[in-house]
Amino acid sequence: MGHSSVGSSKDDTGAKGPGVRDRVLDGFQRRFGGEPTFIARAPGRVNLIGDHTDYNDGFVLPMAIDRAVWLAMRGRSDRRVVVHSLDFDEEASFSLDQGAAHQEGWVEYLRGVAWALDDAGRPTSGWEGVIAGDVPVGAGLSSSAALELATARGFAAITGVIWQPVAMSRVAQRAENEWVGVNCGIMDQLISAMGVARHALLIDCRTLETRSVPIPGSVAVIVLDTGTRRDLVDSAYNERRAQCEAAARVFGVPALRDVDVATFVARENELDATTRKRARHVVTENARTFQAADLLERGDVDALGALMDESHRSLRDDFEVSRPELDTMVSIARRESSCLGARMTGAGFGGCAVALVRRDDADAFARSVARAYLDAVGIQPSVYLCIASEGASVERMAPLSDDVDGA
Ligand code: GLA
């Protein structure tokens, strides 16, 4: 995707991917010869509202996007995984039986999923494959969750087990928490596993219940990548988590999800100034997110946009995870009359904002915002018109050897 171009898919099921799908198919034939047995795919995500709520057992409202990681694969008779990444132009392999020392880079996400599957008592078996994607890496669109879920989807296919999206998103989250060492919540993995075409998903991050909410055809969801990347994000993220947990202890509840706005207001003076701000963000963001799902359902996109604006202010001023370039991007977006609301999205500290825009004006919006941001900040942003797409999927390409009728 070229800088500042407006990317969009031909349909709404993630089918811009065929470019990447063709690449992994072709790459597989060149590297391994013959046909792969399966092609697995898992999307990245953008969160409309509800950030830093997932690890507080709260609510989030993300959608899976039409950008994904694709994996063409075929089983092997031994217990090795051999995988070639087209994007990194690099090959890696590992044994499913030896917990060898951690290597560097992208392969650790695959090894982490294999480890977490095994640890959960789920079957694994060897395969060879070629992997590629069009989720920008490090932009806050969850390329790592997409990689984990494509891997999990592939393992399920190759071992012939029924795909269980909720359980598999937990496995992928464990891989990220305990193998890769990033203490993330469940949002990214769950939406990559469970996304619904043309819908956002309200996720209760305590019960993992989901409600799909249609996105009205009158609006476009536009991701605005500031071109900045997050530094020190892990330490800042973990510090925010710890502050939220400290606040929950003061309220005497398992998680901030259990504190409503009225209770917070009545007791906020029991918290020190910083903890109070962090908790205020989470408590109000949960309320906004829950309300946002109802507004989206009713098609009240103006009111939804207003909640997105409030969410940005809360993340900027109370949770303090924005940065000047994100604030500039959001205010430039808000100057456009076609924009209903805008906010930073994801962990913060860099990466992307998301804007809700009247669909008929989406192209003009994208051009105008990209130009104004370049003028203001001196960085050429990337702008993506995102279509809500389905979650992880698999396509069978050839019959399994022990399943010759191809059923
Ligand atoms: C990252 C994490 C998610 C979530 C968001 C913030 O994307 O991976 O679990 O905490 O930040 O909402």
Per-residue pLDDT tens, the chain, 407 aa: give them. 333 334 443 333 344 556 999 999 999 999 999 999 999 999 999 999 999 999 999 999 999 999 999 999 999 999 999 999 999 999 999 999 976 667 778 999 999 999 999 999 999 999 999 999 999 988 889 999 999 999 999 999 999 999 999 999 999 999 999 998 888 999 999 999 999 999 999 999 999 999 999 999 999 999 999 999 876 567 899 999 999 999 999 999 999 999 999 999 999 999 999 999 999 999 999 999 999 999 999 999 999 999 999 999 999 999 999 999 999 999 999 999 999 999 999 999 999 999 999 999 999 999 999 999 999 999 999 999 999 999 999 999 977 654 444 33
What is the DSSP pairing of strand 393-396 with strand 38-47?
antiparallel
Closest atom of ligand 1 to CA, residue 52: 12
**Ligand 1 mutation pick, 49, 53, 54, max ligand atoms within 8 A of CB:** 54
Say how many residues make up the chain.
407
Ligand 1 mean position to 407 CA, how many Å? 39
Q: Which two tokens stand for residue 310?
A: 């409030």
Q: What does pTM read for this prediction?
A: 0.93
Residue 363 backbone phi and psi in degrees, to 5:
-65, -45
What pLDDT is stored for residue 138 in this prediction? 84
Per-residue DSSP letter, 80: E
Ligand 1 site residues (CB inside 6 A) read 51-52, 54-55, 184-185, 187-188, 346-347
pLDDT at 337: 98
* Ligand 1 center from residue 187 Cα (angstroms): 6
Is 402 one of the catalytic residues? Answer: no
**Of the residues 188, 294, 318, 361, which is catalytic?**
188
The protein residue with its alpha carbon nearest to ligand 1, atom 1, reads: 347
Q: How far is CA 327 from CA 11, 122, 334, 357, in A?
A: 32, 44, 11, 18
Mutational test site, ligand 1, from 184, 241, 245, 257, max ligand atoms within 8 Å of CB: 184
Q: How far is the CA of 188 from the centre of ligand 1 (A)?
A: 7
Residue labelled with tokens 């494959």: 129
What are the C-alpha distances in Å from 213 to residues 133, 210, 316? 27, 10, 27
252 class by beta-carbon count within 10 Å (0-12 exposed, 13-18 middle, 19+ buried): exposed
Report which protein residue has its CA nearest ligand 1's atom 9. Answer: 185
392, 151 contact by CB (below 8 A): no
CA 281–ligand 1 middle distance (angstroms): 15
CA-nearest residue, atom 12 of ligand 1: 51
